[in-house]
A and B are shown apart, each in its own frame.
Chain A
Amino acid sequence: MEISISMEGDFVVADVAGDLVASTAEDLKVQMGKLIEKNFLFVILELSKVTFMDSSGLGACMAVHKAFNEKKGSMVCTKPSETVAKVFRVTRADQKLNMAGTRLDAIKFLKSAALSGRQS
C-alpha cells in the first residue's frame, strides 16, 4: 500500500493505493498520525485506488476518523471502488464515517466543518 500526500487548497489529500488490509492498516494510522502531529486536521482520504479492504483496513479508517475528530478536525473518505464500498456498506460504517462521492463534495464538506469548527 502507498499513500501519496498532496494539498488541495487548504486541505490535505491522502491518496491511498493498493490493499488496505491487516498487513498495511497500521501504515495508514501512522501516516495520518503524522499529519495530526503537524496540525493538518482536515483530510480527504481518497480511496479510488484501494483495490481491496478487509476489516483491519476498515478498523484503521475508524481509528483515523476518531483521531481527527478528537483534534477537532475532520476526515472524509472519497470514491471507494465498489469492492471497498461494499465493506463500508454491509458493516454500516458508511453511516458513521464521512463519505463523499467526489473530491469536490469532500472539499465542500471540509470547508463547512472547518468554518463551523464542529466535530463530525
Chain B
Amino acid sequence: MDEKIITLKFKPVFENVDSARIAVHNACRERYQQPGSDPLISDLLLAATEAMNNAVEHSGAKEVEIEVIAGPQGIVFRMITAGDRFDPTAGTAFPDLDAAEELPEGGFGRALIAEMVDSEKYEYSEGRNILTLEKNMITKEDRTDGD
C-alpha cells in the first residue's frame, strides 16, 4: 500500500534543493529504520538531488514539486515540473574519463541517477514533466527470510 510521506513545492534554486534533500532524508529515515537502510536511502537521496539539480538548471520551471511515497517495494520519489519536455533518463552514460583529454567537470548527473535507483520513469503529460524514481528497500519480510 502506498503511503505518501512527504510533499514539497519550492522555487528552483539550489539552496532549496538542499532544504528539500534534508527534508526527504529525515522523512525516509523516520520511515525506514531497518538495519541496512541508510546506504539505500543515501542512494535515493543522491539520485533525487541530481534530478532536482537538473530541474533547477535546465527545466525553466517556476516551481518544483516533489513527493516521496513509501511503496510496497521501497521508496518512490516523484518530481513534477511544468515547462518544456525534458527527459532526464536520456543519455545516461558516465563520461569516459580515459578518453577525455581533460578531466570533465560535469556530465555525471544523469548517469548517477540511473546508477543509484532501481527504476526510473519519465512521462510528459499536459505540459508537465513527471520523473519517477524507485529505490527498493529492505522490508520486514526480507529480514524474516534472512533469519
Contact = CB atoms under 8 A, between A and B. Distances in A.
Contacts of A52: 21, 42, 45-46, 49
Contacts of A83: 39, 42, 46
Could you say which of A54, A62, A65 has the most chain B C-beta atoms within 10 Å of its C-beta? A54
Contact of B18 (A23, A58, A62, A91): A23
Interface residues of B, number: 26
Could you say which of B21, B42, B43, B115 has the most chain A C-beta atoms within 10 Å of its C-beta? B42
A54 B49 contact: yes
B102 interface: yes
Given A22-B53, A56-B53, A87 B94 contact: no
Given A55-B112, A87-B46, A21 B103 contact: no
A82 B115 CA distance: 16
A108 to B, nearest CB: 23
Q: Nearest 8 pairs between A and B by C-beta?
A: A23-B14, A59-B105, A55-B108, A55-B109, A22-B14, A62-B103, A83-B42, A63-B105
Contacts of A55: 50, 53, 106, 108-109, 112
A2 interface: no
Contacts of B45: 52
Interface in A57-89: 58-60, 62-63, 65-66, 82-83, 86-87
